[in-house]
């Protein structure tokens, strides 16, 4: 257990996949663009790429077994996850491709301190594969949204958004790639702004 406490904003990163947004955040921290530190990276997928990326960079990276449910963690498992984040003195929980709904144990442990990035201009196209939803709806543009997490599906207060065009010959893959480019700019920018205002707990 790491009991150290610095004056920097301490991030707990949760992810389920390859970790491209985590990479963008870690790169921005390494470049001095975000005055924060990664306390721990946790994943509900044992062999997730995000864990390998974190370990390559020397960060604590652990598998957090989710239990038997597919779209959320078992309450006991989520309570263990919350305790682990608390042990690492995490100030802000950052969801980076985390594919489970956040429920009471984490929401109560980190009230107003859990953020997510979603691949649409919320409230448009919540839920899975938002880029496909936008394309199928014939939208002229889409984008990404950084927002606070609440108990709903992509319903928390919006922090910032970035818009990207949908072009005539786009495919779901090309739209998704363009959104990810915007995500990799927007998420570090938001974290930089939060870190600038951060005051460590006394």
Angstrom distance (rounded) from CA 95 to CA 116: 5
Report whether 142 contacts 178 (CB < 8 A). Answer: no
Which position among 118, 147, 176, 184 bears the catalytic label? 118
Angstrom distance (rounded) from CA 6 to CA 8: 5
β-partners of residue 9 are 36
118 is catalytic: yes
Give CA separation, 185 vs 25, 117, 180, in Å. 9, 11, 9
What contacts 152, CB < 8 A, 6 or more positions away?
none
β-partners of residue 93 are 12, 114
Residues annotated as part of the active site:
118
């Amino acid at each position: 257990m790491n009991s150290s406490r610095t004056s920097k904003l301490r991030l707990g990163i949760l992810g389920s996949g390859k970790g491209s947004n985590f990479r963008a955040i870690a790169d921005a921290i390494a470049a001095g663009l975000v005055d924060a530190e990664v306390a721990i990276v946790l994943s509900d997928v044992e062999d997730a790429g995000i864990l390998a990326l974190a370990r390559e960079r020397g960060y604590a990276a652990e598998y957090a077994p989710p239990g038997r449910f597919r779209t959320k963690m078992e309450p006991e498992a989520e309570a263990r996850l919350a305790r682990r984040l608390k042990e690492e003195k995490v100030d802000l929980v950052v969801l980076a491709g985390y594919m489970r709904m956040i429920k009471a144990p984490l929401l109560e442990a980190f009230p107003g301190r859990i953020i997510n990035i979603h691949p649409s201009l919320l409230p448009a196209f919540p839920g899975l594969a938002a880029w496909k939803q936008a394309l199928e709806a014939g939208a002229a543009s889409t984008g990404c949204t950084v927002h606070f997490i609440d108990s709903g599906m992509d319903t928390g207060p919006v922090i910032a958004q970035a818009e990207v065009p949908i072009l005539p010959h786009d495919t779901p893959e090309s739209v998704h790639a363009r959104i990810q480019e915007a995500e990799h700019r927007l998420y570090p920018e938001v974290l930089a702004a939060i870190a600038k205002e951060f005051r460590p707990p006394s």
